[in-house]
Structure 1
Amino acid sequence: MPIATVNPATGETLKTFEAHGPDEIERRIALARAAVDEQRTLDFDTRARLLNRAAALLDEDQEHIARTMTVEMGKPIAAARAEAAKCAKAMRWYAHHAPRLLADEHPSPDDIKDAGAARAIVRYRPLGVVLAVMPWNFPLWQVVRFAAPALMAGNTGLLKHASNVPQTALYLHDLFRRAGWPEGSFSTLLVGSGAVEGVLRDRRIAAATLTGSEPAGRSVAAIAGDEVKKTVLELGGSDPYLVMSSADVDRAADTAVKARVQNNGQSCIAAKRFIVHTAVHDAFLERFTAGMRKLNVGDPLDESVQVGPLAMEQGRADLEELVEDALAHGAVARCGGRRPPGMDRGWFYEPTVLTGVDATMRIHQEETFGPVATVYRVADLDEAVALANNTPFGLSSNAWTRDEEEMARLAQDIEAGGVFFNGMTASHPALPFGGVKRSGYGRELSSHGIREFCNITTLWYGED
């Protein structure tokens, strides 16, 4: 796959890059490993100063990097600015909280009296070089939510970014360099997916994290398992969005539009399956469909545009196949279901609402990575929970209800890494993020995320 910036709004190749060869890959791995020894010696105040400097630089660069992301993968420019701001905020959050999150733990004497120890300490130490295999859909945020905690924990990072966002990848490399991090602390490998196995098998790589597709996750997990290396995987999602009879239907429908088309619908945690109680189904469907139909689709650099193009031509083709299969088997397109008329350049697709979806259709089980929603009618909470869990994925979920008993039931029974009540799923540095089932394992963000790539060490001290 070529390493190039291809504008998805026009299909035009804007810039191409030569992939790093074996010698450059070796040089960067060696630098990352050498930097581990220096990183370990930096105290939290020094790491925090460097990370805060990176955040300040990112704020200064916001317009530049926002336009870069928009041109490379098509997200609306306002969303790109918000992504850059969110990354700076996360850097500052980890700079401030890492000393507390990674502070030594001291078991009480009563708890360890049978262990024969006079005292004991639990200490969080860095693992070393962590390989990050990252996707294109949030090309800045996906990397920063790994890099900020990893660097604050004393690790070094090697980034293998998606091949269609090379300028964003190179920007990140330069950002941490300009902030003053020791050489090799964070490096970008400009390589295709075929180079990942060799890098991951290198003995100097301690662990890996991947955000991406299920096939990519399986591949990295298999290689890492063979090498007995720690991995964190955040894979696909087919998040349910439940609307029960007690819900504020207007708010639920308006939020549903945002939840489905965020990032042009190309988000693992975007709501995709809208499961609606029969008592409010028709009202919800009418308002939701009207909202989807009104969305402004077009050039993502236009400030008024709400939905830009799909990031890749193949991605649009995959989405079209799912919709065409559903329509051929009896589903109904309440809006959309085609390429926008008159938009011959770029990889655009109309915001789409499908009803009448059933188990005979691929879209019932496969992830829709684009602005396509499926709406289901259910009779009660039991049917809603069963349908919500009838998916191989389990990343996040949304539930709209004012009934406390329903909330308690959903919190207990929904199979996902998160349940967001009366709002849309979002990631935040203070909250753990990740999934179950084929959505992956491990957690990013919060205390859980920063500890994923730590050697949790027991220090045992006998009697003097």
Structure 2
Amino acid sequence: MSNTNDKTNFETINPATGETIETHKYMDSKEAASKVKDAHNAFLKWKLTSLDERAKIIKSIGKTLEKNKDAYAKLMTQEMGKLISQSYEEIELCIGICDYTATEGLKHLQDEYRPLYDGGKGTIHYSPIGVIYGIQPWNFPLYQPIRYSIANLMAGNGVLLKHAKNVTGSAIKLKEIYEEAGLPKDLFQVLVINHDVSDEIIANDAVRGVTLTGSSGAGKHVAIKSAEVLKKTVLELGSNDAYVVLDDADIDLAAEVCAKARIYNNGQTCVAAKRFIVADSAYDAFKEKFVSHMKAMELGDPTNSDTDLGPIARKDLREELHDKVTKSVENGAKVLCGGEIPNTKGYFYPSTVLDNVKPGQPAYSDELFGPVASLIKAKDNEDAMRIANDSKFGLGGGIFSKNEEKALELAKNHFDTGMIHINSYGLAYPNMPFGGVKDSGYGREHGGFGVREFTNAKAITQQK
């Protein structure tokens, strides 16, 4: 029987039932350091393999994910509560990332040749730098580690993963899949460690770069610790993405897409639509249809195909979400639907819409990580863009307008965020850069950018 008060052990909990899945044990400093050393030794051999050899194994990882998709989908849904259909979608995205990285991504690592002004010859070689440490969250148990690890393995680096503890099983399963696919033993390591040991890993001489997906607070901590030892970081942090509905938008389309964009992954997505900023002339019509869609979301068992919305991943996260809703209401927001914790087992929270959202409320300025939508009325289109940019975050966003040329111009020149969807919603595309600005972090993944983030662009010159 496990001792939950023992700081060396922890349990993973099924958020749909509140029941224990498994008990895991933290590694101590010595064991974690040994894993880093093993990864470094494996890297010394891996860096000498050709791009084509690496690509074959990356493609094999995609095929092995396909082979194991039923077990992996079930595990992800069990550990964090995402709908089973969305677990399968996540796996398909990850297979696509493997295929893209092994083909198009490979091209971004090829040597480049440039003539020199004095008649010589220049070669740019993208050399792997060593072991890369990734600290990842729980909301996409497979995609988050795949996003950085596949790119870095393709680049020739070794990879460490510190996953969120509530999805430890998913992390361990990924290591098994990598090695089943033919990845050299020890090149990819899972570190089951606490925050103190994590800081030691950042300082470890064998670690050459650090990437984190998480909160702005976690990002600041990791950036400081990495800067103290002069190590590069890539940070993908939180956001309160604005979806702007202009006065000429297709209201039916906007309401339907925005509702789906808010509750996808049970509303626990960094690039989920969170603030819905609507021009005054379109506000009432949008509100009516949007609330209708949100009210219709069926809350329940994430393994049931009829369920629209599963549980929040952890009890403490549900409490934090509800606290932000309560404080927003106390400061003038109005609940149009939802907003109450249901009396049922598991960590469920209903689809919720807040109206009259103003500055000074958490619903206006903070990230609400769950199925809670903030409705904000703008005077006109120009005011809507002003409000969209009135945020410390800048990860994603959306624009709804029948005039796509106007929407594209706003996206290019006026929307201060990293990724923008026009008349649509999307999570990530393997061939498009992923990342943000302001308190949402820096650096880019996917789209050929990720494979170069932790490489040494060597300039090699030869004279005639």
Contact in 1 for aligned 2:55/2:106 (Cα 8 Å): no
Contact in 2 for aligned 1:117/1:460 (Cα 8 Å): no
One-letter identity of the residue aligned with 1:449: G
Distance across 1 between alignment mates of 2:249 and 2:162: 43
**Range that drifts further, 50-59 or 152-161:** 50-59
The 5-angstrom pairing of residues 208-357 of structure 1 reads 208-340=210-342, 342-343=343-344, 345-357=345-357
**Range that drifts further, 392-401 or 41-50:** 41-50
Query: How much does 1:122 deviate?
Result: 1.0
Choose from 139, 142, 164 the match for 1:140: 142
One-letter identity of the residue aligned with 1:389: N
Query: How much does 1:390 deviate?
Result: 0.7
Contact in 2 for aligned 1:66/1:77 (Cα 8 Å): yes
Is the counterpart of residue 366 in structure 1 residue 373 in structure 2? Answer: no
Structure 1 residues 325 and 28, CA gap change in structure 2 (3 angstroms): same
**Range that drifts further, 17-26 or 323-332:** 17-26
Distance across 2 between alignment mates of 1:193 and 1:83: 27
Q: Which residue of 2 aligns with 1:169?
A: 171
Is the counterpart of residue 417 in structure 1 residue 425 in structure 2? Answer: no
Query: How much does 1:406 deviate?
Result: 4.5
Choose from 57, 72, 75 the match for 2:82: 75
Task: State the aligned residue count.
Answer: 456
Q: Which residue of 2 aligns with 1:28?
A: 35
Contact in 2 for aligned 1:430/1:446 (Cα 8 Å): yes
Is the counterpart of residue 87 in structure 1 residue 94 in structure 2? Answer: yes
Please state whether the residue corresponding to 2:144 is helix, strand or coil: helix
Contact in 2 for aligned 1:98/1:153 (Cα 8 Å): no
Please state whether the residue corresponding to 1:446 is helix, strand or coil: coil
**Range that drifts further, 227-236 or 302-311:** 302-311
Q: Which residue of 2 aligns with 1:179?
A: 181
Contact in 1 for aligned 2:246/2:279 (Cα 8 Å): yes
Two-structure CA RMSD over aligned residues (Å): 1.2
Query: How much does 1:336 deviate?
Result: 0.5
Distance across 2 between alignment mates of 1:435 and 1:3: 33
Distance across 2 between alignment mates of 1:17 and 1:316: 23
Q: Which residue of 2 aligns with 1:65?
A: 72
Q: Which residue of 2 aligns with 1:385?
A: 385
Contact in 1 for aligned 2:312/2:349 (Cα 8 Å): yes
What TM-score do the two structures reach when normalised by structure 2? Answer: 0.96
Q: Which residue of 2 aligns with 1:99?
A: 106
Contact in 2 for aligned 1:3/1:166 (Cα 8 Å): no
Structure 1 residues 50 and 15, CA gap change in structure 2 (3 angstroms): same
Q: Which residue of 1 aligns with 2:153?
A: 151
Please state whether the residue corresponding to 2:165 is helix, strand or coil: coil
Contact in 2 for aligned 1:3/1:192 (Cα 8 Å): no
One-letter identity of the residue aligned with 2:359: A
Distance across 1 between alignment mates of 2:199 and 2:240: 28
Distance across 1 between alignment mates of 2:148 and 2:196: 22
Is the counterpart of residue 8 in structure 1 residue 15 in structure 2? Answer: yes
Same amino acid, percent of matched pairs: 36
Distance across 2 between alignment mates of 1:406 and 1:188: 43
**Range that drifts further, 133-142 or 420-429:** 420-429
**Range that drifts further, 137-146 or 10-19:** 10-19
Contact in 2 for aligned 1:244/1:381 (Cα 8 Å): yes
Distance across 1 between alignment mates of 2:387 and 2:126: 41
- Where in structure 1 do 4 or more consecutive aligned residues deviate above 4 Å? none
Please state whether the residue corresponding to 2:21 is helix, strand or coil: strand
Once the two structures are superposed, what CA deviation does each residue of 1:221-270 show, in whole Å capped at 9, x if it has no partner? 00100100011000001100001111111011100011001110000000
Q: Which residue of 2 aligns with 1:427?
A: 428
Once the two structures are superposed, what CA deviation does each residue of 1:80-133 show, in whole Å capped at 9, x if it has no partner? 1111111111111111123311111112x3xx31xx451101111111100000
Distance across 2 between alignment mates of 1:355 and 1:335: 10
Q: 5+ unaligned residues in a row in structure 1: which ranges?
A: none
Distance across 2 between alignment mates of 1:375 and 1:410: 21
